[in-house]
């Protein structure tokens, strides 16, 4: 049963399997484990980034496509739900219509980008996607009548996902379940299902062809595979998953704006997470998202504690000040790339395979 759910793509490392199981249980029970607003918000952001980064790994890690337009599809999903909910009023019909329109727009844009741009060399394709993403961000900022401009859009969720909705009069295991909690579990369920779908895609014959194209596109073409078609389908699929991730973030925040979904900083975050977790693994999206989002949200607190501990040492106190958290985040990234060149997942899998090989030699 587990083999079927994971599409026969098991972690292949005891440490990796233990880490993934711990993350799964922690995220599932996050409302009980972290009842505060900050803790559950961090958990929700991790879930959204897992889906967003996994969809980008389908492009970069499995197909070898470098695209800077991924946040554009992320923003389309968020704006689709926000605009529909703001115009039609709160309700599942608005959410469904907004998501459906966003998926159609993303599909068409991804199809156009794929068909017209994937025939050029990789660096030119990357520049084209960057130009398209920048133009879309500018458009979203200027069409204030529809998108709210730089201020973005605030909207209300359906009644069942509203913070004021409380299905139970008493607490359940010490937690008062409300619409906010139900929204979190909705995100958890959707991300879980779509992550399994992505696993199935990359381990299917279609996914094998994508990996062949990544390794040597000329050889794949010589074998009879239309590489442009496969790359275009990969681009479309990645765009659709990113669109759903954007819609989930909008539902959680009940707000969307250029800075929350369309900024180039988010694109850089996605690239960092893919590299940290490990390209071409999908599991790297889980590990990388957890490490990055936790560092992004709690590194300042850790630096504050460290600065207080070395308060009497002028140089260390100045270096460990919370204001320099971005510097330390960069240092952690450099160290992770140096010690984990294939990502955390790649390193753990290599160690697991090494131990298995040694065990087989000992038995032989």
Residues 292/273, Cβ–Cβ less than 8 Å: yes
pLDDT at 293 over 60: yes
Q: pLDDT digit string (tens) for 56-105? A: 999 999 988 888 999 999 999 999 999 999 999 899 999 999 999 999 99
pLDDT of residue 93: 94
Q: What is the pTM of this model?
A: 0.91
Instruction: Calculate mean pLDDT across residues 264-287.
Output: 91
pLDDT of residue 186: 96
pLDDT of residue 354: 56
Half-sphere exposure of 332 (CA within 13 A, CB side): 17
What b-and-e string marks burial along 193-225, b requiring 16 or more CB atoms within 10 Å of the CB?
ebbeebbbbbeeeebebbebbbeebeebeeeeb
Q: Which two tokens stand for residue 324?
A: 């320099």
282 backbone φψ class: left, alpha, beta (φ>0; ψ -120 to 50) = left
Residues 154/254, Cβ–Cβ less than 8 Å: yes
d(CA 220, CA 215): 9
pLDDT at 41 over 90: yes
Ranges 8-17, 139-148, 282-291, 352-361: which has the least confidence: 352-361
Quickly state the pLDDT bin for 319 (edges 50, 70, 90): confident
Residues 210/225, Cβ–Cβ less than 8 Å: no
pLDDT at 120 over 80: no
Ranges 61-70, 154-163, 261-270, 344-353: which has the least confidence: 344-353
Ranges 5-14, 76-85, 195-204: which has the least confidence: 5-14
Instruction: Calculate mean pLDDT across residues 333-342.
Output: 82
Instruction: Calculate mean pLDDT across residues 221-240.
Output: 89
Spell out the CATH class of 10-363. mainly alpha
Highest mean pLDDT among 5-9, 119-123, 162-166: 162-166
Q: Of residues 352 and 67, which shows the higher confidence score?
A: 67
- Provide the total of helices (H) and of strands (E) in the chain, helices listed first: 17, 2
**Residue 153 DSSP symbol:** E
Instruction: Calculate mean pLDDT across residues 125-154.
Output: 88
Q: Of residues 149 and 339, which shows the higher confidence score?
A: 149
pLDDT of residue 3: 53
Distances (CA, A) of 234 to 3, 56, 111, 122, 273: 24, 10, 10, 15, 20
d(CA 160, CA 166): 8
d(CA 63, CA 77): 23
d(CA 163, CA 183): 9
Q: Of residues 90 and 121, which shows the higher confidence score?
A: 90
DSSP three-state, residue 172 = strand
pLDDT at 229 over 90: no
Instruction: Calculate mean pLDDT across residues 126-134.
Output: 88
Question: Mean of the per-residue pLDDT values for the chain?
Answer: 87
What b-and-e string marks burial along 12-41, b requiring 16 or more CB atoms within 10 Å of the CB?
ebeebeebbeebeeebeebbeeeeeeeebb
């Amino acid at each position: 049963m587990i083999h079927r759910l994971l599409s026969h793509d098991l972690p292949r490392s005891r440490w990796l399997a233990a880490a993934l199981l711990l993350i799964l249980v922690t995220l599932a029970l996050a409302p009980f484990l972290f009842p505060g607003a900050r803790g559950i918000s961090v958990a929700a952001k991790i879930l959204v980034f897992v889906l967003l980064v996994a969809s980008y790994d389908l492009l970069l890690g499995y197909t070898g496509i470098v695209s800077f337009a991924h946040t554009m599809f992320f923003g389309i999903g968020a704006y689709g739900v926000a605009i529909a909910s703001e115009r039609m009023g709160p309700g599942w019909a608005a959410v469904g219509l907004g998501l459906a329109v966003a998926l159609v727009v993303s599909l068409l844009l991804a199809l156009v980008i794929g068909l017209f741009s994937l025939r050029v060399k990789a660096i030119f394709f990357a520049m084209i996607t960057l130009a398209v993403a920048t133009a879309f961000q500018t458009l979203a900022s200027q069409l204030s009548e529809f998108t709210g401009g730089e201020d973005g859009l605030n909207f209300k969720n359906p009644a069942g996902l509203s913070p004021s909705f409380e299905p139970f009069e008493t607490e359940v295991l010490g937690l008062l379940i409300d619409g906010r909690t139900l929204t979190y579990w909705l995100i958890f369920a959707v991300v879980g299902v779509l992550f399994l779908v992505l696993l199935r895609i990359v381990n299917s014959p279609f996914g094998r062809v994508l990996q062949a194209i990544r390794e040597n596109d000329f050889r794949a073409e010589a074998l009879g595979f239309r590489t442009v078609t496969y790359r275009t389908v990969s681009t479309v699929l990645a765009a659709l998953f990113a669109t759903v991730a954007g819609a989930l973030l909008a539902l959680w925040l009940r707000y969307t704006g250029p800075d929350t979904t369309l900024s180039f900083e988010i694109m850089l975050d996605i690239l960092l997470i893919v590299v940290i977790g490990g390209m071409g693994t999908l599991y790297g999206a889980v590990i990388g998202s957890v490490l990055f989002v936790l560092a992004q949200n709690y590194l300042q607190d850790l630096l504050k504690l460290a600065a207080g501990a070395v308060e009497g040492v002028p140089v260390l106190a100045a270096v460990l000040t919370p204001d320099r958290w971005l510097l330390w985040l960069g240092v952690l990234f450099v160290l992770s790339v140096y010690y984990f060149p294939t990502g955390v997942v790649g390193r753990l899998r290599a160690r697991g395979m090494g131990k298995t090989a040694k065990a087989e030699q000992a038995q032989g």
